[in-house]
A and B are shown apart, each in its own frame.
Chain A
Amino acid sequence: METLLAILIDGLVYASWLFIVAAGLTLVYGVMKILNMAHGSLYAIGAYSAASLVGWYFGSGHPPWGSFALFIGGAVIAGMVTGLIIERGVLRRMYGRDEVVMILVTYGVLLILEDVTKLLWGVDAYFAYQPYGMIGRVRFSDLTFAGYDLTLIAVAGLVGFALWYALNRTRQGKLLRAVIHDREISLAMGINVTRIFIVTFIIGSALGALAGGLTAPALSVAPGIGIEIIILAFAVVVIGGLGSVGGAAIGALLVGICRALAVHTYPQFELFIIYGVMAAVLAVRPQGLFVIARARKI
């Protein structure tokens, strides 16, 4: 019973974090048809910005609760700025190419950003543990969980709700959905597709960086975290169906729970199970679990 609860909570925490990363990735794919590998770097940039801001903030002795606003805000802003630079500097020149070519383009961007983070922040690990301890711990029967992790679940719920609301209940969201359905017709109807692209990419980047910023207090920030996370995020969006935010949530839950199950029962299957689920979903329903298949066009 307790193991079950632990699996459930751990799985939820992991899923929330995965969802925030994957939501940005899937949104960008849905609108722009770019499977953005550089999303991993945006995550890393968010994490590094947050870690160094936390280090500076606590080093200069300000009231501790203000750190949350600072490091989360800092990560998001860093992500938005980097996103804007990537979109205007590189992607803009490559629109209209094959989807596979776009993966390679973003792979190039990922490689460049990996070294940029190394040049800016060095190769030593950063620790920003202070905010993690501030929320305290929560007890469930005999188990205790870090309050920070549980807050993460709420944040993921909030992000999911905000995305759903923005896409389904606002004018801008409607424009965005029009572009998702048919880019050319939207253009013909007078929608400023270029602007939609920029805004989408910035939001996607901000989400990636937000996830990075939120995890910075929970683990050590070291080179290579972006490369590790991107493949996990791919697994999540592929399971749920590329381009579907709801699918990303379900994919994240599935991966999160499966991983927690493996960690608590057979830890040697931790990585295997994530990619096993991904391959199984691709094998059975390549378009993702919750996306309706379309007939191929001639």
Chain B
Amino acid sequence: MGSDRTPIFLCAALLLLLVVGLFIPNWLVFLFTISMAKGLVVLGLILLMRTGLVSFGQGLYYCLGGYIVGISGQHWGITDVALVFLLVVLAATLLSSILGLLLCRYREIFFAMLTMAFSMILYGILVKSEKLGSTDGFIIAQATLFGWQPEVEASGTWIFALAVIITLVALLVMHLYFRSPMGFGGEAIRENEIRVEYLGVSPRRLIYIKYVVAAVLAAFGGAITAVAAGHVDPEMAFWATSGEFVFIALLGGTLHVAAPLVGAFLIEIIRTIALDLAPYTWQMILGGSLLLIIFFLPKGLWSLLPKRREEEGL
């Protein structure tokens, strides 16, 4: 396999981003933070897509993460980020380990449909619950860290720093995972599930674990979005949000752990520009590029990069 320099590149790139973050305007910092949050969700999604499963319901955990942050701040008085994120992880693990029991038996469009149904159930509940602000959602209390309350002006920057650290850890862990036997097992399932079974590996167990990991990543994404934006609403669980994640995953491709991040950033920057210049053609641009990618670059933008030989199989 040769020496693996990806972790070093990842560390260098994200530390550079951290330094750059100190000198760029606030809106750009916010944009980077949101891209990282969405990148995390999509990182979980490509984990599933490498197994041949497309989830149209990652919005479920994205929204769950966001609402846990919001509810613990507003109703339980917990604003400490470390504690809140722990709650988010617990909640996502709990929910996904229950739903995963059912979902690991499903494949192809049935998996897509059932994940979508679950996320729409949450959407349906949130839209109708007045205590949580129904369709408007609600504002999130100012976050703190270990009792330290950052100034309001600086909050964008330190949440950005937090996002960078979480993203870096997630990327490194997932990179190791992709190269582990379990990680390769995913692609084996995509290629031929029955052979995997004959080899003595349980595809259901693998898919179950991947589903839970993807859920936790999505919940982290939602939590970061909530803290950064200071607001949550049920749209986070709507299927169109999940659709956007799938779109980002296809844009970046599943070849590399950093691809979702690049994809998410591209989408956010294009959206910012397009909404400014041509608000009614933004979705058209998205849809058109989706078709072009499926048609010409089925492995995503990442496949345009020249690749080293040992990575061919990845």
Contact = CB atoms under 8 A, between A and B. Distances in A.
B287 A268 contact: no
Given A94-B295, A103-B109, A274 B284 contact: no
Interface in B223-262: 239-240, 243, 246-247, 250
A105 B291 contact: yes
Contact of B117 (A105, A112, A282): A282
Contact of B114 (A110, A276, A279): A279
Nearest to A109: B287
A234 B116 contact: yes
Contact of B108 (A99, A109, A119): A99
Interface string B274-298: 0000001111101110110011001
Contact of A231 (B108, B239, B247): B239
Given A100-B109, A275-B124, A109 B116 contact: no
Nearest to B129: A268
B106 A115 contact: no
Contact of B54 (A100, A116, A227, A282): A100
B283 to A, nearest CB: 4
Contacts of A104: 54, 246, 250, 290, 294
A298 B197 CA distance: 12
Contact of A110 (B117, B246, B287): B287
A102 to B, nearest CB: 9
Contacts of A275: 117-118, 120-121, 123-124
A227 B110 contact: no
B247 to A, nearest CB: 8
A108 interface: yes
B109 A272 contact: no
B123 A271 contact: yes
A283 B294 contact: no
Contacts of B123: 271, 275
Q: Which has the most chain A C-beta neighbours within 10 Å: B112, B129, B284, B298?
A: B284
Nearest to A123: B280
B114 A282 contact: yes
Contacts of A234: 113, 116
Contacts, number: 121
B102 interface: yes
B117 to A, nearest CB: 4
> Size band of the B side of the interface?
35 or more
B109 A35 contact: yes
A108 B243 CA distance: 10
A270 B295 CA distance: 39
Contacts of A273: 124
Interface in A1-60: 35
B291 A115 contact: no
Given A115-B283, A269-B128, A279 B121 contact: yes
Contacts of B113: 234, 238, 278, 282
Contacts of A103: 54, 56, 109, 112
A203 interface: no
Contacts of B270: none
A282 B110 contact: yes
B240 A227 contact: yes
A111 interface: yes
B294 A108 contact: yes
A129 interface: no
A235 interface: yes
A93 interface: yes
Contact of A112 (B112, B127, B283): B283
Nearest to B54: A100
14 contacts: A35-B109, A101-B298, A103-B54, A104-B54, A104-B250, A104-B294, A105-B291, A111-B287, A227-B240, A268-B129, A275-B117, A275-B120, A286-B114, A298-B194
7 A-B pairs closest in CB distance: A111-B287, A271-B124, A108-B290, A112-B287, A115-B284, A272-B124, A268-B128
Interface of A: 35, 90, 93-94, 97-101, 103-105, 107-116, 118-119, 123, 227, 231, 234-235, 238, 242, 267-276, 278-279, 282-283, 286, 298
Interface of B: 54, 56, 102, 106, 108-110, 112-114, 116-118, 120-121, 123-125, 127-129, 194, 239-240, 243, 246-247, 250, 280-284, 286-288, 290-291, 294-295, 298
